[in-house]
Amino acid sequence: QVQLMESGGGLVQPGGPLRLSCVASGNIFAVNQMRWYRQAPGKQRDLVALSTSVGGTQYADSVKGRFTISRDNAKNTVYLQMNSLKPEDTAVYFCNLVEFKENTPLVDYWGQGTQVTVSS
């Protein structure tokens, strides 16, 4: 039983930075992926970045070079450092945890989301 809680969203001017945090409570399987998704009004939820439990990362093309995902396993926390923000980055950002067993996803947890608004 795992619960995720995002924080760090808010209003930021274009070009500015924000750092999102997601804290996972409960027991987490050793093999897992922490993911950030975002969903803009009227649009589908898209994967932004992911972090594996062995240090791998992946990014959507739209955020490569601007966003960095990282994690602190001791704190069960994943971060999304967002730099050079654009109005197009405005969305609700969701934290997602996928636990794996024998290379198969076993369970999927979602946070409630945190609003990021990029506007002058």
Report the share of the chain in percent with pLDDT over 70: 100
Token duo for residue 80? 């999304």
Distance CA 72, CA 43 (A): 31
Token duo for residue 1? 């039983």
Whether the per-residue pLDDT at 30 is higher than 90: the answer is: no
> Taking phi first (over 0 means left), then psi (-120 to 50 degrees means alpha), and beta for anything else, what does residue 108 get?
beta
Whether the per-residue pLDDT at 74 is higher than 90: the answer is: no
Whether the per-residue pLDDT at 37 is higher than 90: the answer is: yes
Distance CA 7, CA 41 (A): 19
**38-69 tens-digit pLDDT:** 999 999 999 999 999 999 999 999 999 999 99
